[in-house]
Structure 1
Amino acid sequence: MTGDAALIDRFLEMMAAEAGAARNTLSAYETDLRLASDASGGRLAQADAAAIGRVSDGWSALAPATVARKAAALRRFFAFLLDEGFRADDPGIALPRPGTTRGLPRTLSTGDVDAMFAAITARVARDPPDRNDLRLSALFELLYGSGLRATELVSLPRGAVASDRPYMILKGKGGRERMVPLSDRARAAVAAWRDHVPADSPWLFPSGKAHLTRVRLYQIVRALAAEAGIPPDRISPHVLRHAFATHLLEGGADLRALQAMLGHADIATTEIYTHVDRARLVRLVNERHPLIDAAPVRP
C-alpha cells in the first residue's frame, strides 16, 4: 500500500475537487490526519481498530468539539481508502462519537437592527455626506440584507452589484457559486458608495493596495453597534449574517431557499436556524399565551 503521506495528499485532492471543501477545512483535515499518522508510527492507512483506538485515546484531554472534528476527518479518510480500494475494511467504527451540543448562534432582534440602521440614516443625512458613511451604509445593507460572509463582502469586485439586477452571482466557500438576492435599498446604497470608489479599483471596498480587511470590517461593525446603544461584544459581521437568516426564517422563508441564499453545502448547517426559531416560539408561548395567568386545572 502507498504510504500515509501520499494517501493523505490524494484524499485532500479528492476533497477539494469532488466535495468542494473549503481551504480552512482542508487545512484542518491535513493537520488532523498527519498528527494521527505520526501517532500511529506512519501506518495510519494500515491501522486496525485497536490501533485507531490507541490514537483516539490520546485525545482524552481535548474538548468534545475538537475530538468530533478529528474523528470526522479520520472517518472520511478511511471511507476514501475503502472506496478507492486501498483497504477492504473500514476501522472508523472504533473512533469516538462525542455527544457535542451545538450552541445556538448569537443573533440580534429586529429592534437592534433598526437601531443600527437609524444611526446609519442619521449619518448619511448629514450635508455633505461623508464618504465613509456611504461606505458604512453599503456594507450594512449587504451584510444584513443579503447575509454575506465577511470575506465575501470585503472582497467583492467593483462591478459585483448592478443597479438594474436584483441579484448577484457570488463565489463563496469551496468555490461554490450561488445567487444572492439584493434589495432595492442595497443596490441604491452600493450605487451611492461606488461613485466614490476610484474607477481603476478592482474592489468595491478598496483599502490601500488591496480591499478592506475582515479585521477592519469587524471594527466598523462594533463601532456602529456602540453608537446605536448595543453592547459591542454582542455583535460581529457573522452575527449580522445570523440575524439575516433568523429574521427570514421567522418571516416564513423556506429552509431550502435559505440554504441556497446562505451558500450552505449541507442543509444540516442551515437547520440550526430552526432551533433559533423554535426557541423564539417557546418563549412566545411562555410569555404571551392567554392561559399563562389562568389557574391550573386540579385533578
Structure 2
Amino acid sequence: MNDDPALFERFLEMLAAESGASPNTLSAYRSDLEQASRRLGGKLAIAGREELKQVGQHWSGLKNSSVARKSSSLRRFFGFLLEEGFRDEDPSDALPRPGISRNLPKVLSHEEIANLFSILKEKLEFDPVKPSDVRLSALLELLYGSGLRASELVTLERRSLAIDRQYLIVKGKGGKERLVPISDQARHSVRLWVSLTDPQEKYLFPSRKGHISRVRLFQIIKELAVQAGINPGKVSPHVLRHAFATHLLEGGADLRSLQTLLGHTDISTTQIYTHVDSARLVELVNDRHPLGRRNLSR
C-alpha cells in the first residue's frame, strides 16, 4: 500500500464531503501531502514514526502557523488511513505540535437537533414510506443517539445488533471493539430498516460495493440539514457525534463515562468537551460550594 496519489484523492474527496472544504483549502492539503510524499520517495502512506520525524525536522525553519497546518494535514490524512483500514496504527504523533490553540468542536443546539428529527418524522409519516427515509432514520438515530464515528457507522455489520440487546458491538479505531448503548427508539428505527433489507447482506447499511460510503453518508446528512433550515456547512456526522457528547455532558454525564462511550483511548481527547458546560459548572459552584451558599455581605 504505497499508492500515495490514489489515497490522496480518496482523502480529499472525503474531506470535501465532510467539511465542505473550499478549493483553496483542498489545494493546501494536497500541497502539504505531496511535499511530504516527495521527501519520502512517494511512500508517505506507509511511513513510520522515524520517517515522519525526518519530515518534521525539515520544517524547522518555518513559522509555527505553517508547521501547525502541515502537521494537521498529515495527521488528518493518517487518521483517514486508520479509519478506512489502510493502516493498523497511526504514527502521526511523531509530527511536531507547535503552540497553536486547538479549535473547539462545532456544536448543534437542542433546537437544531429537534428540527432535524422533526423533518425526519414528517418523512416517515408518508404512506408508503420511502426505504431511503427509513434508512435515514436509522442513520440519524445512531449518529446522535449513540455517538458513532462515521466510519464506525457505515461499516456496522448486521450481527452487531441483536433484538434482545440494548447495545451495539462497534469496531472503532485500530480495530478495537467496544459496547455502545442503543436507545429503544434507535433500535426500533434500525429494526424497521433491517426488515427492508436482504437478510443475506453482511452490512447493516449495504450498497452495491459493500456498504454505504462515508462520502454518501455526509451527503445524506447535509441534505437533511438543508431541509431543516440549517446551514449544511454546520452539520456532518462528526458534528452529530459532538452533539451527542455535548448534550450528554449537559445532562450530567461524567467525562470518564463519555470517554468510554466515544471510544477515546486518552481522556485528554474527551476533555475538549468541557468547554460546553461552563454555565452548569458555574451554577454548580454557586449552589454547592460553601462560599456560594454564604451571604458574603454580612
Please state if 1:140 is matched with 2:137: no
| The one of 20, 33, 40 aligned to 2:50 | 33
CA deviations on 1:224-273 (whole Å, 9 max, x unpaired) are 00101111111111000000000000000011000000000000000000
| 1:193 equivalent in structure 2 | 193
The 3 A distance-change label for structure 1 pair 121 and 283 is farther
TM-score normalised to structure 1 length: 0.67
Please state if 1:65 is matched with 2:71: no
Bigger Rg over Cα? 1
Please state if 1:202 is matched with 2:202: yes
Instruction: Report the residue type matching 1:57 in the other structure.
Output: S
| 1:108 equivalent in structure 2 | 108
Please state if 1:268 is matched with 2:268: yes
Cα distance in 2 for residues equivalent to 1:121 and 1:187: 16
- Asked whether the 8 Å contact 1:68–1:98 carries over to 2, the reply is no
The 3 A distance-change label for structure 1 pair 120 and 62 is same
Q: Structure 1, unaligned stretches of length 5 or more? A: 1-26, 40-51, 73-94, 285-299
The 3 A distance-change label for structure 1 pair 56 and 64 is closer
The 3 A distance-change label for structure 1 pair 31 and 134 is same
The 3 A distance-change label for structure 1 pair 282 and 231 is farther
Moved over 6 A (4+): 67-70
| 1:256 equivalent in structure 2 | 256
Q: Offset of 1:178 from its aligned partner?
A: 1.2
Cα distance in 1 for residues equivalent to 2:46 and 2:256: 28
1:49-128 to 2 correspondences below 5 Å: 55-60=58-63, 63-66=66-69, 98-128=98-128
| 2:231 equivalent in structure 1 | 231
Instruction: Report the residue type matching 1:173 in the other structure.
Output: K
Instruction: Provide the aligned C-alpha RMSD in A.
Output: 2.9
The number of residue pairs the alignment matches comes to 221
Cα distance in 2 for residues equivalent to 1:142 and 1:184: 11
Q: Offset of 1:276 from its aligned partner?
A: 2.3
Instruction: Report the residue type matching 1:33 in the other structure.
Output: E
Cα distance in 1 for residues equivalent to 2:123 and 2:261: 30
Q: Structure 2, unaligned stretches of length 5 or more? A: 1-43, 76-94, 284-298
- Asked whether the 8 Å contact 2:64–2:99 carries over to 1, the reply is no
Instruction: Report the residue type matching 1:211 in the other structure.
Output: H
